[in-house]
């Protein structure tokens, strides 16, 4: 019996179909094999995350406030601070933040009239400063003046070698009170070496009571080598402990901050 003859057109169709099936099977095998294949040890290493934890820098060394004291005069808080720089370097642009607190420890409403002028401190230096705070409401209860350094920039101590080795105020005298109870306090600036030029000096009057506690601070005027203050001296002042502090240095937000602070720019 003779097998049926397949027409040439059908034969070529079957051949083409078989070829397509073979190609599809090859593609499927390749995809399946690559999906289950383990990555090569010599292949590319995934990139490390770019969100690496930043290194922590050491906190800046700041001067400290060792003592504060105040008096309320009508609607103004007149206060004094004692500061010290235990940092290994000098500091410039030193900034003090002051809070006036009530008996509950809450801030009293008001505003800074003047902050202590202690912008430059040399290594190991102790320096007093004075400031004033105006109360929004007369009669507000004040129990404490809190002061802390919040900023300072280190500077080489050698930059201040041109400053006098010592600055002090002598011959401090309290004049007689006028009809309003106000007196003029004067003093004379002495330097070592004598007659040295001071760098943007600021004078602060510092008063203590008989127990030695700070009770008052006030800034004054400097003319040549004379300092002057005008105030009603508190009754509990120990007049034998009245001192005047002289601060030096300038705020230095410039291209040459150290030279500006040291008055050598």
pLDDT tens-place string over residues 210-228: 999 999 999 999 999 999 9
Owner of token pair 């097998």:
3
- Judge if 172 and 239 occupy the same domain: yes
Query: Strand pairing of 243-247 and 110-114?
Result: unpaired
What mean pLDDT comes out for the span 36-52?
45
pLDDT of amino acid 12? 40
Does residue 69 lie within any of the structural domains?
Answer: yes
Does 192 reside within a domain? yes
Give domain status of residue 11, yes or no: no
Question: 69 with 149, same domain?
Answer: yes
Residue that wins the pLDDT comparison between 39 and 199:
199
- Using an 8 Å Cβ cutoff, are 169 and 226 in contact? no
Q: Are residues 182 and 126 in the same domain?
A: no
Q: Are residues 147 and 76 in the same domain?
A: yes
- Split into its structural domains, the chain has a count of 2
Domain containing residue 83: CATH number: 2.60.40
Residue 99: predicted pLDDT: 97
Give the SS3 label for residue 38. coil
- The predicted pLDDT at position 58 comes to 56
The domain boundary, picked from 160, 193, 225, lies at 160
Domain span at residue 116 reads 64-160
Q: Which residues contact 147 (CB under 8 A, 6 or more apart)?
A: 65, 68, 79, 81, 96, 97, 98, 99, 116
Q: How far apart are CA 140 and CA 77, in angstroms?
A: 10
Compute the average pLDDT of residues 89-98. 97
Chain-centre distance for alpha carbon 195: 34
Using 50, 70 and 90 to split pLDDT, how confident is the model at 106? very high
- Is 261 within 8 Å of 252 (Cβ atoms)? yes
CA distance 11 to 240: 127
Based on the domain organization, do 149 and 211 belong to the same domain?
A: no
Q: Are residues 236 and 171 in the same domain?
A: yes
pLDDT score of 158 more than 60:
yes
Task: Mark whether 171 and 156 lie in a shared domain.
Answer: no
Residues 228, 186 contacting (CB under 8 angstroms)? yes
Question: Residues 141, 192: one domain?
Answer: no
How many whole angstroms separate alpha carbon 174 and alpha carbon 130?
18
Average pLDDT score, the chain: 85
Indicate whether this model's pTM tops 0.85.
no
**Residue 37 predicted with pLDDT over 80:** no
Residue that finishes a domain, picked among 135, 160, 185: 160
Q: Supply the pLDDT for residue 50.
A: 41
Say yes or no: 121 and 174 in one domain.
no
- Give domain status of residue 59, yes or no: no
Boundary (domain end) residue, out of 137, 160, 183:
160
pLDDT band at 197; cut points 50, 70, 90: very high
Identify whether 21 is part of a domain. Answer: no
Q: Are residues 175 and 257 in the same domain?
A: yes
């Amino acid at each position: 019996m003779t097998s049926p003859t397949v027409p040439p057109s059908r034969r070529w169709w079957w051949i083409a179909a078989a070829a397509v099936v073979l190609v599809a099977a090859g593609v499927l095998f390749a995809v399946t094999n690559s999906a289950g294949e383990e990555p090569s040890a010599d292949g590319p290493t995934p990139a490390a995350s770019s969100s690496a934890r930043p290194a922590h820098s050491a906190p800046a060394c700041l001067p400290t406030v060792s003592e504060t004291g105040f008096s309320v005069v009508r609607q103004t808080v007149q206060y004094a601070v004692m500061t010290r720089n235990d940092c290994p370097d000098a500091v410039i642009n030193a900034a003090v933040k002051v809070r006036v607190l009530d008996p509950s420890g809450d801030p009293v409403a008001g505003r800074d009239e003047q902050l202590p002028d202690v912008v430059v401190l040399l290594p190991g230096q102790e320096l007093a400063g004075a400031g004033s705070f105006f109360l929004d409401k007369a009669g507000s209860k004040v129990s404490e003046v809190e002061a802390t350094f919040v900023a300072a920039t280190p500077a080489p101590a050698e930059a201040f070698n041109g400053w006098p080795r010592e600055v002090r105020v002598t011959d401090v005298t309290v004049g007689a009170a006028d009809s309003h109870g106000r007196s003029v306090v004067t003093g004379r600036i002495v330097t070592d070496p004598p007659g040295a030029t001071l760098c943007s000096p600021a004078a602060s009057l510092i008063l203590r009571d008989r127990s030695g506690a700070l009770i008052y601070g006030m800034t004054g005027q400097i003319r040549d080598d004379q300092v002057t203050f005008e105030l009603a001296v508190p009754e509990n002042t120990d007049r034998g402990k009245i001192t005047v502090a002289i601060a030096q240095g300038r705020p230095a937000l410039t291209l040459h901050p150290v030279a500006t602070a040291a008055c050598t720019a």
